[in-house]
């Protein structure tokens, strides 16, 4: 007599998970799950390939020109001693720092723009970068340990963010009020930074003045390690928080209905965003408008903010800042700090966004 097998069939290894949407893939690690858009990941891989190509091209330029393929070989430890020294000791750390700083700033901008639901918000606009800069300038002028500079900048950025958030709170957070308060707090902190730079002898403040211009000049492998350490912690945390951020964007009532601890999540997002902005400021100084422009361009290219779009934002940030540094270093009559180039591009873009958003205060 035939029997009926009621056991649950084992799904094929390549079969999509029950909760996967078409065109998406879900990655699960313990209690955490991240859903990625395959199309956006494909775009990210293309931008990543362009970034790698630009990185090699940037290392071919300079007073000592090196052919493209020789740079590739030198990166992997092949070639003559002169090329190995120039590529691996002088140029490669700067290129990697440019990419990591761009990724950190762009991710921080995406987090803050999503948190307050406003494309005009970024760490440099609402005073967070200036908070990191104030503490960093104080740290440099008084000659404290350089190894603790990223931590000091993080404390300054977090303090400025909490101050702006507290002063903006009025039964909730209004994006327009947050921008105004952030600009005011940032201006006050900038005045304190200027006071420090004029209060002490020029020999003592010269390193801080050069640093405030926003430059990747002189980046070394220690800076690369610091940036990698922060990004290895903060970027996965930001990706993991994207689902909660999207729920927060639907409003506090919806988020409470889903059982989410709203203020704890907001604080977590602020801490992650401040850490990413602070480590970039600590290494390169205040580089403006990257955190404002890149997230907006990523959303225009790939859609609303999500885990996949956040990854694309980080990669686009790496490409944008590396391109800006290459232009500033090699394609202008004189070599300029990268912050000058990003400001020249970003200021008109900010005015364009302001016009498009039709902001009413």
- Write the pLDDT tens digit of every residue in 120-161: 788 888 888 899 889 989 998 988 888 888 888 888 988 998
* b/e sequence 253-271, b meaning 16+ C-beta within 10 Å: eebeeeebeeeebbebbbb
Q: Is residue 353 included in any domain, yes or no?
A: yes
Is position 8 within any domain?
Answer: no
Write out the residue range of the structural domain in which residue 301 sits: 51-357
Q: Is 80 left (phi over 0), alpha (psi -120 to 50) or beta?
A: beta
Over 80: is that where the pLDDT of 87 sits? Answer: yes
* Block residue for tokens 């803050």: 112
Q: What pLDDT sits at residue 353?
A: 78
Identify the burial level of 161 via C-beta atoms within 10 angstroms of its C-beta, where 0-12 means exposed, 13-18 middle and 19 or more buried.
Answer: buried
Direct distance between the N- and C-terminal alpha carbons of the chain, in angstroms, rounded to an integer: 80
Strand partners, 26: 35
148, with CB counted inside 10 A (0-12, 13-18, 19+), is: exposed
Is the Cβ–Cβ distance between 131 and 189 less than 8 Å? yes
Least confident of 9-18, 150-159, 278-287, 307-316: 9-18
Question: What CATH number corresponds to the domain at position 219?
Answer: 1.10.3470.10
Task: Enumerate long-range contacts of 250-255, CB under 8 Å, 24 or more apart.
Answer: 252/172
pLDDT at 61 (0 to 100):
92
The pLDDT score that the predictor gives to residue 265 is 87
Domain tally, the chain: 1
Answer whether residue 74 is part of any domain: yes
68 CB-near residues (< 8 Å, 6+ apart): 56, 57, 60
Task: Check whether 2 has a pLDDT greater than 60.
Answer: no
pLDDT in tens, 40-53: 999 999 999 999 99
Q: Which tokens sit at 195?
A: 């006071």
In this structure, the dihedral spanned by the alpha carbons of residues 63, 69, 74 and 79, taken in order and rounded to 10 degrees, is -90
Give the per-residue pLDDT at 21.
64
Tally Cβ neighbours within 10 Å of residue 59. 24
Is 320 contained in some domain? yes
For residue 22, being part of any structural domain is answered with no
In a domain, 64, yes or no: yes
pLDDT band at 173 (very low <50, low <70, confident <90, very high): low
Residue with tokens 């709170």: 169
Say if CB 219 and CB 97 are below 8 A apart.
yes
- DSSP-derived 3-state class of residue 283: helix
Query: Which residue, among 139, 161, 156, 157, has the nearest Cα to 148 in the 3D structure?
Result: 139
Q: What is the DSSP letter of 201?
A: -
- Is 41 part of any domain? no
Give the chain's mean pLDDT.
Answer: 85
Residue 23, by phi and psi: left (phi above 0), alpha (psi -120 to 50) or beta?
A: left
Tell me the C-alpha distance between 102 and 277, whole Å: 10
For residues 129 and 72, what is the distance between their CA atoms, to the nearest angstrom? Answer: 35
In a domain? residue 11: no
């Amino acid at each position: 007599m035939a029997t009926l097998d009621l056991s649950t069939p084992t799904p094929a290894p390549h079969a999509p998970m029950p909760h996967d949407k078409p065109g998406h893939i879900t990655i699960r690690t313990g209690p955490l799950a991240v859903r990625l858009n395959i199309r956006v990941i494909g775009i990210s891989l293309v931008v990543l390939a362009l970034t790698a190509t630009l990185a090699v091209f940037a290392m071919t330029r300079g007073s000592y020109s090196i052919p493209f393929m020789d740079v590739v070989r030198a990166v992997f430890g092949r070639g003559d001693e002169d090329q190995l020294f120039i590529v691996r000791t002088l140029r490669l750390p700067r290129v990697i720092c440019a990419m990591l700083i761009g990724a950190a700033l762009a991710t921080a901008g995406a987090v803050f723009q999503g948190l307050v639901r406003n494309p005009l918000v970024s760490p440099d606009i609402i005073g967070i970068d200036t908070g990191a800069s104030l503490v960093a300038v104080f740290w440099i002028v008084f000659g404290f340990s350089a190894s603790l500079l990223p931590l000091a900048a993080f404390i300054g950025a977090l303090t400025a963010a909490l101050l702006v958030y507290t002063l903006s709170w009025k039964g909730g957070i209004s994006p327009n009020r947050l921008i105004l308060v952030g600009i005011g707090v940032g201006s006050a902190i900038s005045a304190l930074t200027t006071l420090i730079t004029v209060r002490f002898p020029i020999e003592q403040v010269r390193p801080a003045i050069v640093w405030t211009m926003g430059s990747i000049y002189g980046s070394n492998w220690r800076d690369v390690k610091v940036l990698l350490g922060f990004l290895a912690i903060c970027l996965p945390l930001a990706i993991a928080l994207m689902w909660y951020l999207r729920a927060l964007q639907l409003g506090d009532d919806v988020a409470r209905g889903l059982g989410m601890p709203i203020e704890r999540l907001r604080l977590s997002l602020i801490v992650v965003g401040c850490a990413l902005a602070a480590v970039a400021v600590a290494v390169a100084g205040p580089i403006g408008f990257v955190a404002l422009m890149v997230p907006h361009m990523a959303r225009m290219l790939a859609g609303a903010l999500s885990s996949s779009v956040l990854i694309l934002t980080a990669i686009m940030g790496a490409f944008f800042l590396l391109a800006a540094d290459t232009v500033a270093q090699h394609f202008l009559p004189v070599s300029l700090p990268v912050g000058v180039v990003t400001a020249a591009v970003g200021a008109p873009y900010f005015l364009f966004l302001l016009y498009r958003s039709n902001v009413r205060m």
